[in-house]
Structure formats: C-alpha cells, structure tokens
Structure 1
C-alpha cells in the first residue's frame, strides 16, 4: 500500500521457493504508514539505509532502526506501521516458503532450529529482539544479487544459492557474542553507521580517519575500534573492499575502460588499481570481462 507521500522504486525476483525484493522509498514528508497482507512466509529482512520505526502487530513489537541492520521474522499475515525519520529508506528482503525454510533451518545451528520449531507450530516469531548490523560479507552477497550478470535458469540457481548463503551468514552472525567492548551507547553506534554511509558515498575520495572522526563527532580511537567491532572490518578494509567490488561491477556492467574505472574507484593511477585488482580477484581488470565468474 502506497500513498501520495512516497515514491517507491522496486526490483523483484520470483523463484519457486523464494521471492526477493529491493525497495527504495523516497518520502516527501515525515509520517506513519500502514502496510498489511495475508501472506505466510519467513522473511530475511535487511535495512540498507535510512532511519525509521516500525510496529509489527503480529509480533507485538516496535523497533527503532537506523543504518544497516538485519533480522529474520515469521508471521501468518503481516500488519506493519512504519514511521519514517529520514526522507529515504532502502531495504532488501528475501521471503522463504515456510516448508522450504523449515527443511533448511532444521539442519542449521541452534538459532535457526529454534526459529524453525516456532514456524512448525505457526507461532509468530523473530530470530532476535536485538537487530544486528550487516557485516561486510552480508553486504557483499546482497550486492552480488543486485548486480548479478547471469540470465535465465542459471540466474535462478545463482539467486537461490545466494539466498541460502545470506541465511547462513545471518545464522552465524546471531551466534556471535553480543558484548560490545568499545561501543556501548546507541548514540555512538549511530555515529558509526553515519561513518559507514560517508565512506560509501565518498568511496572515490574518502575522508581520512581524522577527518571522518570530526564529521561524525566520535574520537579516532572509538571510530577505529568501534567500526571493526560493528562491521567486522577496519575503515581501510571497508574502503578497499568497496572499491574492488565497485570496480568489478563497472567492468562487468559498463563499457568504461579500466583506466576510467580506476579513477572512478578512487585510485591514483591505473597501475596501482590493476595491481590491487589482481591481488583481490586473481586476474587483471582487462581480462575480467571474459572471466567465467559473472558475480561481483
């Protein structure tokens, strides 16, 4: 259900046992909007950007979410009230057929088995009341789905395998300890999400640690330690990985030369870019267009 206040840009993939969706919602004003349907499925939900609250009637729960985050939810029918606190919200989701999810989850770790038991009993459930931030592995797989170059049946097989991979990564993420040594307040956590957003938007010319620290209002020690704790990689690791996968995406999806892509990805010279690319992917930028691996 949409309103005149929102513009939704959606992309969907329908497979036999799963459906995948990517939504960008641009709001004209701030407000609350209700969405409902009668479907039954297990949803892997990933917030990619934005700030919002949503009330989930079937779970009798309300969540305040900002930046990147994920969880797994099950209910028979959905009624959600979303209150946007930013003008843009971007989400990604995978809905699993319940029987298919149960078949997979019963062979998973304890977190998945417990959720599967509730699905079998038709009990509305969520994997955890604490939403976890998307780590780099999760974001990378989402990007691989969004920019996949496969076609026809091979693409469906690829999307299915990546959907199961995301389920595995979430299950692994929620098995990890939730104790934060460096970042304990929600305020500091939100500043780190802001740092991640700044780096993503300025990947061709990212700020230094000192500059980023001043932009988000967090000291350098907390920035470096907290970023690694929250996202599973260092600030420099995040920049490098983003640059590499941006470059591969441009090589596979555009006609830009390797030299042009090197500068777009923020490298000072094509030679430096080529050396980093070969070290990352085992092949040169010029040869990647004929390389059989068509993921990013």
Structure 2
C-alpha cells in the first residue's frame, strides 16, 4: 500500500532530493522519456526528471487533438524558459481513429489509454530506446481507480497490469505518495512558474473527458470553444477547477425567430483541496449570465448553457 505524504507535513526540499536520487537509481546510465501535458502533475515530474537526468530525459508533448486551444505552443514556451526542450508529436489521426464510434465512458478511456501507451508512446520509446517512462500519477488517481469510481488512464500496477509486459517499458511514478495540494508545493519548490503549479487540474483524457457520447473533431472543437470562455471568465474566482462539458443530446432552441436544435453545454466549477470531495462554487448570477452569453456568442450551435450544483459525492469533478 502506498504511504501518503500529506501536504501539511511535506518537506519539499527532502522530497525532491529523495525523488531525484530514486529516478537516477532506477534509470541508471540509460535514457528515460516522459509525456508532458502542461498540467501540474506532469510539469512537476518533468522538472524532477530534468534535475535527475538532464539531457538523458526526452520530454514529449503528444498532440492528440483533444487539448485546449494553443496548449502545445504554450507548454513548449513555458518549458523553454526553464531550459527544458519539449518535442511536439502529432498523433491526432491515431486518437480520433481509436475513438470513432465509441460512446461508453470506460471504453473511451481505454481507447485513449491503449492509443497513448501501446501505440504512440510505445513507438516513441522504441525509437528512443528508453527503458523507463516517467509519469505523474498521484494518489487520488489510484484511489478512484481501485475504488471503481473511474478508471484513470495512468493506473496499471494496482489493477494487476505489468507495464513492462503490456507496453515494453517500466513506469516510474515519483508523485504517487502525493495529492494535488502536495504536488503544487513540490512544483513551486522546483521553480515552476505560478501559471504551471497553480494551473487548474486537467484530465489525462483531455477534452474527451468532457464530451458525453462520441468524440469527433467537430465535437471537440465545440467543447474547446466553450472551455476557452469558461477558463477566461472563471480564472479569478479562486476555484479549484472549472470546465465546460458538451452533452450528447441536442436540445430545442431558437435562432432568428425559428426553432433550432442545438448543443447543450454544462458548466462545472468546484471548490476543493485535493479532489476527493468538492462543492460547487457559489458563482453570482451575473457571472453565470456572462458565461451563457459569451458561450452563445463564441461557440456555434450552442443553444443551452447550464450550471452543475451537485457536490462530490455523489457527482464527480469530471463528467466521464
């Protein structure tokens, strides 16, 4: 059983020293590879790996077509300023092909997991001859997967899956004893800019976790546009996380005086510490109204915007 290090008792200096040594011992004189999404977990792992291995760590941003607007360019620029080179790999066609016709939430997560670890990353690992993958799994990912709440894409050994046997490489998880608040402390101590260690959480399956039903380039474009509005307007709320979700069914609306069957966007905004429990942020009606107006204005086809007022539990932070 993984021993938790609570954020309140976390000695970031000692933690970083220990994890750098563990990475160096695990990798030895070989090379390692890691996937950077720009979230706080993968950003902290990237900096730990960079400290431990220097140029022997290959850092890759996988462009899966499911990310937020301008994400790849923003992440590359952030880490260039920190002295870390990030390689962008275009895998959009592979991910959308794997998701074609898939509507079940767990099947979607599994399609993304297999495409990422077996196909895309498996190929990158073979090309680089890396023996190890550094990954930003945290304790909450394991808890939710083992409890059956939802299968997190980055959990394997706890489900009896041997990554070496399944994918051909070892997985090193330096953050597995921490929850999100602890990772933020480590990220700050590693010198990450506040834009990185204070970023709101973003799911491993990216915007595919915010599309109910089939994931297509067109549906991702819709939820991406709504996400841009939500993140711009709610950035100053101090909330733990906020998001836009595209529902599957079309709903009746009106456009130019006529009936219009359009899309429904659900907005979620959460107050939480470590994502284990959460309550909806009490946004003012003026903010909610601005969200609706700007989503209607900026995102074609949306005729309905709703706000989620359920707590976690029974709800969860992400939709799928």
TM-score, L = length of structure 2: 0.28
Higher share of residues assigned strand: 1
